[in-house]
Structure 1
């Protein structure tokens, strides 16, 4: 596979690949170290990660990323829009501040992660695993409203991230969500690891719903650990701590066919590496990041 075949794919990484899940946590590396090491690994693009981990002052953030040769591809927000209009004000308060910072960095995407139906640490069930028909309608209309407001006010495009232990997870639920939402307002952030975690075929989704793919997260799952996670009904957080998300190319799905399918869409796409590793030793991420970047280059990306 030649480099030219991946000319439309822009590779980056994220705080997630350095074990960062929270704005502030003593088990996480300082933000300065993350920026230093992601640059040393050969990446040019990063995501903001949890709001407040990286500097929220746009000038300081621009200075710190710029002097390391880094640019921002997206911000990330968390939503529970299936709960309907009652949660809109609280949602917008969170989303708007992230969107403002994202726009200030020059990025054009906002990754939207649905709320979890069970606690990702304790496994406590927070709500029913399946949405009612009414909740699906609220989810679709609320997400369309979010897409419209974000585009009109901030000039950003939302990309919704199917995620383990949320209501947008399996092939059935992802396709139902896509079929229920306006393509002009709502695109997908296809996370290869999460979709495989939930039993989906990444290449099939890209080939079937290519026009809806607006962004990629690259990760792999360890099939043996995933089988244990499913058998024991382990929630996502403890599954990550067990190592369910593994270093490429050791897991599934194979990333080269995914990247090739994405390249064939004929549009420019970010493909951001996100190897969930919370928590992890501080010296673990950099060698993995370097090897992963080298592996992706071998795929032509």
Structure 2
């Protein structure tokens, strides 16, 4: 008699173009996409994110061939939204979703990571709008994301995972909790980025314990506590802080990743945990050894991590 296969207990650990310093579809200073894919394999990962649309091939057949020949699989794509600005933002969001979700879903990805527009530009550091939202804007934000999440699931079978972010309107613990209160768990949950949440003093484990049903996806990242208070005191733009190394190679920063992986594995072992160390502006030779050491660190500090 055949013995049933044991159910997985740990989280699938993957990585993303961001960990290779990739922020834009086409930047000659970034690691070429072929090298990124090759180095992901060499570093020991099987799961990746799509990254900025247009960085990896956008033809589904070509991308399937490139991933398949390397034994890689796709967990998610990413889009950017600004629903607090009003109804006009719907077309912009859905146009992105048609491209990104349309491609990622054909490769088997079931998640779309959604990053809110920043109030301060990550390209120029210019302040673009007020740092906080009015009650009316909060209402538009929540309604927009629920509409997007419902449409994504109905059209592509994909789940929306909202990513709180430094220099955005949803970054602090209070803002993240309000966002959850403004949205419907059927359509909108969190991509909990451990580094971005810690950037504003958030306690990742406390949030996981208090809102376990809203954790749909993880980005694993650490922030450098020796730099953080200077960044906040001096109101340093996020992009400049990244260039200065605010997001640091584990295990040299906070929060500890093992307890977070273990807490989320206890909620649902099908949740992805994607290493995403912001490294934009780094040299092309810098990311690979860091990615390799990070994977080795994660697998050495918890038994609840798996490759596939």
TM-score band, normalised by shorter chain: over 0.9
Pairwise CA distance, 1:260: 1.3
Q: TM-score, normalised by structure 2?
A: 0.95
Residue aligning to 2:156 = 154
Structure 1 stretches of 4+ moved >2 Å = 4-8
Residue aligning to 2:278 = 276
2:295 counterpart SS class = helix
Report if the CA contact (8 A) 1:119-1:125 is conserved: yes
Asked if residue 83 in structure 1 is aligned to residue 85 in structure 2, the reply is: yes
Report if the CA contact (8 A) 1:247-1:292 is conserved: yes
Return the match for 2:9 from 7, 12, 31.
7
CA distance in 2, matches of 1:71, 1:268: 15
Pairwise CA distance, 1:261: 1.0
CA distance in 1, matches of 2:267, 2:91: 36
CA distance in 2, matches of 1:48, 1:94: 13
1:264 counterpart SS class = helix
Asked if residue 36 in structure 1 is aligned to residue 38 in structure 2, the reply is: yes
Gaps of 5+ in 1: none
Return the match for 2:121 from 108, 119, 122.
119
Return the match for 2:131 from 116, 129, 132.
129
Q: Could you give the per-residue CA deviations for residues 159-184 of structure 1, whole angstroms, max 9, x where no partner exists? A: 00001011111000000000111111
CA distance in 1, matches of 2:234, 2:215: 32
Say what the alpha-carbon RMSD is for the aligned residues: 1.3
Pairwise CA distance, 1:256: 0.9
Report if the CA contact (8 A) 2:10-2:262 is conserved: no
Between 1:116-125 and 1:34-43, the stretch displaced more is 116-125
Pairwise CA distance, 1:89: 1.3
Alignment map for 1:190-201 (pairs within 5 Å): 190-201=192-203
Pairwise CA distance, 1:67: 0.8
Pairwise CA distance, 1:242: 0.2
CA distance in 1, matches of 2:196, 2:34: 28
Residue aligning to 1:231 = 233
Pairwise CA distance, 1:96: 1.4
1:296 counterpart SS class = helix
Residue aligning to 2:3 = none
Residue aligning to 2:147 = 145
CA distance in 1, matches of 2:108, 2:233: 44
Pairwise CA distance, 1:6: 8.0
Q: Could you give the per-residue CA deviations for residues 85-125 of structure 1, whole angstroms, max 9, x where no partner exists? A: 12211221122111100111111000000000011233211
Return the match for 1:250 from 252, 256, 264.
252
CA distance in 1, matches of 2:114, 2:138: 16
Equivalenced residues, count: 298
Residue aligning to 2:212 = 210
CA distance in 1, matches of 2:72, 2:89: 35
2:267 counterpart SS class = coil
